[in-house]
Chains A and B, each alone.
Chain A
Amino acid sequence: MLLERVDNPGKLRFDVPYQMAMILTKINRFVKEGKIAIVARRCDEKAIAELVKRDLLDGSRLELIGLACSAEQVEACRCTDPCPSRVDIGQPSEPVKDDQNFAGMLDMSLEDRLDFWINQFRKCNKCFGCTLNCPVCFCDECLLEEKTFAPDKGIPPGLTFHLIRTVHLADKCVECGECERSCPVDIPLLSLRKMVNRDMKKMFNYVSGDPERMSPLLTTLEGDPMEDDPNVC
C-alpha cells in the first residue's frame, strides 16, 4: 500500500488478507519510476516471480520484505512451503506435511470422484471470485467471459469452466489458497490446484514460482523458448 503519512503504525496488520502480487500489478501501472517495497509472504514471492518471468512486472524495481506466515495461516492453506527466502518479519513456521492422497480424494473410484466434483461444481454461482482474486490470473480478456466455453447466461457454468481455470493455472498456480478463501460456496479449489501442481512436478519436474525456469508449457521438448508471446493463457 502507498502510505503518505503514517499516524499510527502500531495498527499496521501483518496477517495480509490479500494477495500482494495482485495489488502490485495495479500499482505498477501508475507508479512509473522509483523502487517499490512490498511485504511478501512465500506465495506472494512466488507469484511475483511468475509475473516477472512473463515480463508483466519489472523485477529490478522491487524490494521484497519477507513475511513469515504464522502456524495458523500455514495450517489454513495446508502450505508445504511457507518460509520466504528472506525473513524480515515474524517467525518461520513448520510446513504442513504433504498430504499424499488429499484426504481420500485420490482414493475414490473414478465414478465417486466425478460425483464428488460435479456436486461441488454445481454449487458454483459464477461470481468470478476465484479469477479476480488470483494473483497469477493476468489476461486482459478472460476466456471465461466469452460464451464459447462457458455459457454467458445461466448458472452453474458447468464442468468446462472449472477445467479451463485448472489448465490455465497448471503452470503458474502458487498455491496461495486465495481462490478457495474467496469462494462463497466453498468449492475445494485449492485441493484441485495442488493435485495438478503435483502432476506438473511428476511430468515435467517443474514447480511454479521458480524464478529461473520458464513454464514447460511455453518451451519446446528440449527446453528452448518458443517464439510466441508468453503472456497468453
Chain B
Amino acid sequence: MNDFNPNILAFCCNWCSYAGADLAGVNRLQMPPNVNVVRVMCSASVKPEYVFKAISQGIDGVLVLGCHIGDCHYLTGNHRTAKRIPLAAKILDKVGIDSRRVRLDWVSAAEGEKFQKVVTEFVEEMRSLGPNPMKEVRF
C-alpha cells in the first residue's frame, strides 16, 4: 500500500460545486481528507495563473470544479473554464509536469455523491502518480 498522502487544492464554484461539497458533508459521505477547498465565485475566475502557481509551489494536484455547461450562474462562465483549464494542463505537460495533475470536472449542487466520487478518484490517482516533482526544485 502506497502511504504517500497527496496535498490537493480544489477550486469549487460558489453556486454548484461548493454546494455539492456541502451536500456531501451533510450526507456524511466518506472521502479522503487530502483536499483543501477554495471557494470561488465562478469556475471561470480560476485563471491558469492560479493553477501554475499552485503547481510550481509544490501542490500535488489541482481540481477545478464548476457547474455543468448550461447551468452557470453567469451564463457562459464555465465555457471559459472548459477551454482554459485543459490548455493549462497541456502547457504543464510541455514543460514536463504530468497533465493529469490538473483536472476539470462538473459537479452540480445536487451531486454530493459525484463530489465524493471525483475527490476519491483524484486522490487515488495522485497517490499513484507520487509527489509533485516541483517540490524538490529550488530555483
Mark A residues whose CB is within 8 Å of B. 108, 110-118, 121-122, 143, 149, 156-160, 162-164, 166-167, 170, 192, 195-196, 199-200, 203-204, 216-217, 219-221, 226
Contact = CB atoms under 8 A, between A and B. Distances in A.
B97 A110 contact: yes
Contact of A199 (B87, B95, B96): B87
B80 interface: yes
A202 to B, nearest CB: 9
A180 B116 CA distance: 46
Contacts of A216: 83
Contacts of A226: 76, 79-80
Contacts of A121: 139
Contact of B139 (A114, A158, A203, A220): A158
B56 A160 contact: yes
A162 to B, nearest CB: 8
**Interface range, B side:** 20 to 34
Given A110-B93, A221-B83, 11 more contacts: A108-B96, A110-B96, A110-B97, A113-B94, A118-B137, A121-B139, A160-B56, A163-B92, A164-B52, A217-B84, A221-B79
A40 B88 CA distance: 32
Interface string B106-139: 0000000000000000000000000001100101
B116 to A, nearest CB: 27
A155 to B, nearest CB: 9
Given A160-B49, A167-B48, A110 B98 contact: yes
Contact of A203 (B48, B90, B96): B90
Interface in B49-68: 49, 52-53, 56
